[in-house]
Amino acid sequence: MAHHRHTILDHFKVNDWAIDCKRLTATRAQKKVRLEPKAALILQYMAARPGEIISREELFNTFWPNQVVTEDALNRVISTLRKTLNDNSTEPHYIATIRKSGYRLVADVKHIAPPLQHNRTKKIAGVSIVLCSLLLIAILTSSYSFRPKQPIKPLLNGEFKRLTYSTRVKLTPHLSEDATQLTYIESNKKATNTLVLMSVKSNTRAYYNSADTEFSFPVVAPQANSVLAVIKHTNEAKPYAIALIDFDKKAMKRLVELSSESLGLSHHIQSKSIVFTQRQIPFSTHRITLFDPLYSSNKPLSSPPNGFSDRQPIFSPSGQKVAFIRTKAPTEHAIFTVNLDGQETQITEYQSNITSFDWFNNDSLLYSNEQGLYSVTASGDTHKLLTPIPNQQVAFAQVATDVSKLLLSFQSTSSIGQVIDSTVGDKALPVTLSNGSDSEFAISPDATRMAFASTRKGNKALWLRYNNQLHSVKDSNFNDIYDLTWSKNSQQLAASVKRNNQYGVMFYDISTQKLIVYWRNTSPLHVVGWDSNNHIWYSKLQGSNWALSKFDPIKKTIIEHPTKQVYQARFTPNKQHLIYIDAHKQTLWKWDFKNSLKAISVPYNMKLDRNWDIDSYGVYYIGSNGQLNYYNISNEIDKKIVSRIGAFSPKYRPQSRLYGFVGTHEVITQSDFWLSDLASNDP
C-alpha cells in the first residue's frame, strides 16, 4: 500500500497530460484518450510517489492480491500506459524501468482541480458511456418516443459516482432507500467477516466485527447508524438469528431466532415486516418466510418443489409482494414473486446465473446475469440496460426508490486448480496458472493427465495437461462444462455440458482425439461417473424429480432407474456401490445396484451439492466458507482437513485422489461500488 504521507489523487497532471481517474481519461491539448482501469489505478498509485522506485513485487501485491498471474500481467499494463502517453522505455519521459527493481514515475506531477460538471438538458442517443469499478462498463442509452401503452422502463442516464476504492473483497451491499448510507460485508487478510456502514456523502465508515460472530445479508435499518443482518454465533447452541447491530453503541441485539442458516433478508420500513429464507427441516430446501412483528410469528410464503430452493427475498416498494430467486439446479435460476397470501408468479425464464435483482417499481424489476443488466415487467417484457466489458460481470444491482438511484457492483473473478497432499500437511499447491478461470479438475486414474474447464481463450472449453504440455480440445466450446470424470483405463473422458439451454453428455477419446456430445434436452443433468463395465451414469431432472440413467457409449443404449431419485452421486473406488444424495440434499444413500439401500446419517451442517467426493471410508466436502472437511461414515466423526477460509470453492466438483485432493480455488479480484441516477420513460 502507499505510505500514509502520500496522497492518492483523482485528478492530476503528468507532464502535459491531464489525468482523470474517475472518468478514466487522459487529455492533452484537444486530444482525449481512454485509460484502461488497471492502468489508471497503477498510474494513480505511482503519481502519489513521483520519483520513487516502486518494486514489481509491491505492484503485484497491491493490484493482483491473492492471485496467481504471470509476469506479463504487469508488463502489459506498463506497456499500455506508455503507449497511451506516447512514451517509450529507451528514453522515458513518464515511466522508467529500473532493472531488477521496478518502475519510477519520472514525469512532473501536479494536482489539478476536477473538471466542471455540466447539466444535461437533452437525452443522449446512441452513446456508449464507459465507466469502471477497477473495470469498465459500456452503457447504451437510447432515445425514445412516448407511447401511451408502453410499459414504464428504467433508463440509465448521467454519470456514475464511484463510492469505494479498495482491493478488499466487498460482498452483499445494501443501500438505504434515500441513498445516504451503504452497508456491506468486507473481507481482508486480518478479518474475514467485517460489517461496514458507510456514509455515501462523507465517505466515512464504521466497522463492526466479532471473533465468534459471522454476518450475512446486511440491510440498512431505520434506526440511526444501525444495520439488520443474519448472524451466526459460532459458540451458541442456537447460533442463527436476525440481529440489530448498533454501530454507535457497538452492541448487537437478537430480534428473530432462526432454526437454521438463511439465504437472504429484506425489511419493509412502513410495515416493519421482515422476510427471510429458512430451511425446511430436515431437508436443505429453503423457502421464503415472513416475520410479522405484530404477532411475533413466522409465516411461510413460498412453496418450492422437491429439490428446488428459494433465496434472496426482496420486498416490493408497497410491501405487498416479495421477489426471490428459485434454483432448480446449479445452472438454473429464475426470478419469482409471491404475494402475502402465498400466490407465486414466475417472472423470468430459467437461466444459467442470475447474480442479483431488485424492484424498479411495484410492477417491474431489474436483474443482472453474466451477460449484463436487464429490466423485466410482471408480464415478462425484458430489455437490456447495460453490457459489461469481457471477463467482468454485474455482481450486484439495487435501486434506491426514494431518490431514483442505482447502486451497482462490478466483479472480476479468477480461479485456478489447487491440490492438497494430506501426507505432508494441508498446504495447497497450484496445479494451473491462468488469467482466466480454470475449474472442475479431474486427474486420470493413471495420474498422467489432468482435465479441466477454462475460459483462457474467452469461451469455456475443455483443456488437457499431459507431460507438462497444455492444450485445449478442438470443438469443445460450451456455455458450461462440469462433472468431468475419467474412465478406468484413462482413455475416455466424460462430462456434463450445456449449450444454448440444451444439456448433454460429452465424451472425449484420448487416442482418436474425437469429441462427441449426446444431447438430451433442456433438463439439467449431472454426470456421475463410469462403472466397472465402462458405462457412464448420470442423473437428469424430470419434473421436480431427479431420475438415474445408465448409458452405454458403444451400443448407444440407455437403461433407466426411475425409482432412484438421485440428485448427485459418486461411485465408491471399487465400483461396488453408489453413494448419492436425493432431491432433498440432506441424506446420503448407499446402494449396491440391487436391492440393498442404506441411509447414511450426516451432520446437520454438512451441506452437499457439487462440493463433495468420496474415498473408501468417508466423504470429503467443501463448506460454504471454502474450508475442506472429511466425514468418516463408520465412526461419524467430522473434522476439518484444511481450515483456511476460501481454500476451495464449493461451486465446483472436486476430486479425491489417493492421499490427495484437487479442487478449484476462486478469487474475487474487483468488487467496488458505483452510484448513478436512474430515470424512466414515463413522461
pLDDT in tens, 410-463: 888 889 999 998 787 778 888 887 777 899 999 999 999 999 999 988 789 999
Coil/strand/helix, residue 472:
strand
CA angle 616, 622, 624 (to 5 degrees): 155
Q: Is the pLDDT of residue 125 over 70?
A: no
Check pLDDT > 50 for residue 71: yes
Compute the distance between CA of residue 316 and CA of residue 359 in angstroms, rounded to an integer. 6
Query: For the residues 570-581, what does the mean pLDDT come to?
Result: 94
Q: CA–CA separation, 253 vs 248, rounded Å?
A: 13
pLDDT above 70 covers a percentage of the chain that reads: 89
Mean pLDDT of 372-379: 90
Q: Residue 111 above 80 pLDDT?
A: yes
Query: Measuring CA to CA, how many Å separate 470 from each of 53, 72, 419, 478?
Result: 37, 18, 18, 19
Is a pLDDT exceeding 80 seen at residue 365? yes
Q: Are 365 and 323 in contact (CB under 8 A)?
A: yes
8 A C-beta contact, residue 131 and residue 160: yes
Lowest mean pLDDT among 53-67, 122-136, 334-348: 122-136
- The mean pLDDT value for 216-225 works out to 94
Is the model's pLDDT at 64 over the cut of 80? no
pLDDT top residue among 172 and 166: 172
Instruction: Find the distance separating the first CA and the last CA of the chain, reported in whole Å.
Output: 49
- Angle at CA of residue 446, ends 442 and 452, nearest 5°: 20
- Residue ranges of alpha helices (H) inside 413-524 are none
- Cβ–Cβ < 8 Å for 402, 178: yes
pLDDT at 260: 86
Predicted local confidence at residue 682, as pLDDT? 60
> Looking at the predicted structure, is the pLDDT value of residue 144 above 70?
no
Q: What is the pLDDT of residue 388?
A: 78
**What is residue 131's predicted lDDT score, i.e. its pLDDT?**
34
SS3 for 17?
strand
37-51, 67-81, 116-130: the lowest-pLDDT one = 116-130
What is the average per-residue pLDDT within 200-217?
Answer: 92
How high is the mean pLDDT of the chain?
85
- 5, pLDDT greater than 80: no
pLDDT of residue 655: 96
State the pLDDT at residue 119: 43
- In this prediction, residues 557-574 reach a mean pLDDT of 90
pLDDT band at 633 (very low <50, low <70, confident <90, very high): very high
Statement: residue 157 has pLDDT above 70: no
Give the 3-state DSSP-derived string for 315-376, with helices as H, strands as E and coil as C.
ECCCCCEEEEEEEEECCEEEEEEEECCCCEEECCCCECCEEEEEEEECCEEEEEECCEEEEE
Q: Is the predicted pLDDT of residue 486 greater than 90, yes or no?
A: yes
Q: How far apart are CA 183 and CA 198, in angstroms?
A: 6
Least reliable range by pLDDT among 124-128, 496-500, 574-578: 124-128
Residue 128 reports pLDDT greater than 70: no
Instruction: State mean pLDDT over 219-224.
Output: 93
CA 526 to chain centroid, in Å, comes to: 21
pLDDT at residue 319 greater than cutoff 90: yes
Residue 151 pLDDT level (bands cut at 50, 70, 90): low
Whether 12 has a pLDDT exceeding 50, the answer reads yes
Whole-prediction pTM value? Answer: 0.75
The pLDDT confidence band at residue 255, using thresholds 50, 70 and 90, is very high
DSSP secondary structure string for all residues of 155-202:
EEEEEEEE----SSEEEEEEE-TTSSEEEEEEE-SS-SSEEEEEETTT
In this prediction, residue 567 carries a pLDDT of 92
User: What are the pLDDT digits (tens) for 638-673?
Assistant: 999 998 888 999 999 999 987 889 999 988 777 889
Residue 658, classed as helix, strand or coil, is: coil
Q: What is the pLDDT of residue 621?
A: 96
| Residue 80, pLDDT score | 87
Give the whole-angstrom CA distance, residue 603 versus residue 244.
29
Residues 6+ apart with CB under 8 A from 349: 334
CA distances from 110 to 105, 115, 192, 215 (A): 13, 15, 38, 43
pLDDT of residue 58: 87
pLDDT in tens, 78-96: 988 998 898 988 888 899 9
- For 13-22, 131-140, 289-298, which range has the lowest pLDDT when averaged over its residues? 131-140
